[in-house]
Amino acid sequence: MRSTDPFGAMTGPLDASVGTLFKAYDVRGTVPDELTPEIAYRIGRGVVAFLGADTVVVGRDMRLSGPALAAALIDGIRDQGADAVDIGLVSTDTLYFAVGKYGYPAGVMITASHNPANYNGFKICREGARALSIDSGIAEIRDMVVSGRIPAPTGDRRGNLQQRAVMDAYAEHALGSIDPDKIKSLRIAVDAGNGMAGELVPRVFRDLPCEIIPLYFELDGTFPNHDANPIEPENIHDLRRAVIERECDLGVAFDGDADRMFLIDERGDFIGGDMTTAMVALELLKQHPGAAIVYNLICSRSVPEVIEEHGGRPIRSRVGHSFIKATMREEDAIFGGEHSGHFYFRDNWYADSGMIAMLTVLQLLSTADQALSEVLGPIDTRVRSGEINSEVDDVDAAMRRVEESFSEQGAEIDHLDGLTVGFDGWWFNLRSSNTQPLLRLNVEAETTETLRSKSEEVLQLVRQP
């Protein structure tokens, strides 16, 4: 028999502000003031109702609010008549693996990724590890949750609950993406940020010849050492120092749910996600000559150049996993990479995996028998600004002003994603934020002086009163 609704949650609508928790690619907010067990319960019911799923896999990261949210979510799934498979503490890529490998029709990962400790949220996917976005299900689930109008279960049966361990199977799957016999005895500093990489990395490296220097492998959702957001310089300070002091071949930093990954070379220098994309592409093209590889348009011009030089077919995409994955499926691409540290693999159900990307780079380094900086030297020949955010009163007016100015200068212009302006020696992309009155600028140039002067030129136009 079905249990009594533990929250009285279906008796009426929630405050409309709850709708703001539902983002472009996930559900996310602060706990307990924004995201509550009642909302989690409704999401569980909404996922089953929208997808028509008879089974939903549920995983969570190490955040302190995870167990309560997981329990409520599972109650909602079961009360809606579906079975729940609890895979416990896992990385997000492990959740995607479980859905893809075992043929489950849906999965929910409870995580707030790289956000601070007081956040949590839900990443939702359907069969084949296809992640839901606001355009492919999140909006519909949002409307059910906020209104309280969730379709009644089709029968009287309450779903069952099963526990299943999958981390070791995922580690084996990740290792299957490379030839372990090619991996040399590299010394690698790994900063797990007290996140799920602390559980995953030891399993993956159990039988590899590498020496792992662990930083913050203890699971701790309070993030006592630093936020698990490796794209921020202050959060990789300890890793850079460890690489230099311990004379490591490289360093690796994961975010909280361990799906994103960034590299540090043997000199302690940070490597952007686009350069990692280029290295993964270089290695994969050895095994898949002529294959298509997708990259987002924020990536360096060096990325398509490397792909072409090594016989691949580079395909440019909008920013965001839904666009990358759709393009990969359309083009049968073996790999897709983003500057943000997300890496997608055809043989991983098109889902992202920082772990597979890292292992692929290790194989590249091992077979090249070169330092990481030496492998990157011929590839990383330009300088980049990183993302520069500007708050503006009128986003559309600022975009028009910039486009008109550079059109008059004879620039190559396209609108695949925001505004991309290209010249022979430099280029930039200007995109608006989905949630704030912000414009995000990324500039790349051949020289530091050009980068500085052209960044200032664009910013003057953007920030003009």
8 A C-beta contact, residue 87 and residue 166: yes
Same domain, 102 and 172: no
* Residues 372, 259 share a domain: yes
Same domain, 171 and 73: no
Provide CB contacts within 8 A for 416, sequence distance 6+. 297, 316, 318
* CB crowding 282-305: b at 16 or more within 10 Å, else e: bbbbeebeebbbbbbbbbbebbbe
Q: Which domain holds residue 197?
A: 166-381
Two tokens at 32?
């307990």
Amino acid 6: pLDDT: 66
How many structural domains comprise the chain?
Answer: 3
Domain contains 132 = yes
Is 179 in the same domain as 205? yes
Residue 60 lies in a domain: yes
- Could you read off the pLDDT tens digit of each residue along the chain, which spans 465 residues? 455 566 654 558 999 999 999 998 999 999 999 999 999 999 999 999 999 999 999 999 999 999 999 999 999 999 999 999 999 999 999 999 999 999 999 999 999 999 999 999 999 999 999 999 999 999 999 999 999 999 999 888 999 999 999 999 999 999 999 999 999 999 999 999 999 999 999 999 999 999 999 999 999 999 999 999 999 999 999 999 999 999 999 999 999 999 999 999 999 999 999 999 999 999 999 999 999 999 999 999 999 999 999 999 999 999 988 899 999 999 999 999 999 999 999 999 999 999 999 999 999 999 999 999 999 999 999 999 999 999 999 999 999 999 999 999 999 999 999 999 999 999 999 999 876 789 999 999 999 999 999 999 999 999 998
End of a domain among 355, 381, 407? Answer: 381
Query: What pLDDT does 322 receive?
Result: 87
Sort 17 into a burial class: Cβ within 10 Å, 0-12 / 13-18 / 19+.
exposed
Per-residue pLDDT, 131: 95
Question: Annotated catalytic residue: which of 3, 65, 91, 113?
Answer: 113
Contacts of 137 (CB under 8 A, 6+ apart): 50, 51, 124, 126
Last residue within a domain, chosen from 165, 182, 212: 165
Is 199 part of a structural domain of the chain? yes
Domain presence at residue 80: yes
Structure tokens at 229: 């957001």
* 187 phi/psi in degrees, rounded to 5: -100, 120
Burial code (b: 16+ CB inside 10 Å, e: under 16) for 65-102 equals bbebbbbbbbbbbbbbbbbbbbbbbbbbbbbbbbbbee
At 1 the pLDDT is 42
Q: Which two tokens mark 304? A: 């398509």
The CATH number linked to 402 is 3.30.310.50
Q: Is residue 4 included in any domain, yes or no?
A: no
CA distances from 241 to 183, 213, 238, 261, 271 (A): 24, 12, 5, 18, 15
CA 322, CA 352: separation in Å to the nearest integer?
11
Give yes or no: residues 188 and 259 share one domain. yes
SS3 sequence of the chain = CCCCCCCCHHHCCCCHHHHHHECCCCEEEECCCCCCHHHHHHHHHHHHHHHCCCEEEEEECCCCCHHHHHHHHHHHHHHCCCEEEEEEECCHHHHHHHHHHHCCCEEEEECCCCCCCCEEEEEEEEHHHEECCHHHHHHHHHHHHHHCCCCCCCCCCCCCEEECCCHHHHHHHHHCCCCHHHCCCCEEEEECCCCCHHHHHHHHCCCCCCEEEEECCCCCCCCCCCCCCCCCHHHCHHHHHHHHHCCCCEEEEECCCCCCEEEECCCCCEECHHHHHHHHHHHHHHHCCCCEEEEECCCCCHHHHHHHHCCCEEEEECCCHHHHHHHHHHHCCCEEECCCCCEEEHHHCCCECHHHHHHHHHHHHHHHCCCHHHHHCCCCCCEECCCEEEECCCHHHHHHHHHHHHHHCCCEEECCCCEEEECCCEEEEEEECCCCCEEEEEEEECCHHHHHHHHHHHHHHHCCC
For residue 159, give the CATH number of its domain: 3.40.120.10
Residues 226, 62: Cα–Cα separation, whole Å = 15
Is residue 3 a part of any domain in this protein? no
What is the C-alpha separation between 259 and 427, in angstroms, rounded?
29
Instruction: Tell whether 388 and 325 lie within a shared domain.
Output: no
335 and 416 both lie in a single domain: no
Q: Quick one: 136 and 14 in the same domain?
A: yes
434 Cβ partners below 8 Å, 6+ apart? Answer: 24
Annotated catalytic residue 113: yes
Residues 142, 268 within the same domain:
no
Of 356, 381, 406, at which residue does a domain stop? 381
Question: How many other C-beta atoms are found inside a 10 Å radius of the C-beta of residue 238?
Answer: 18
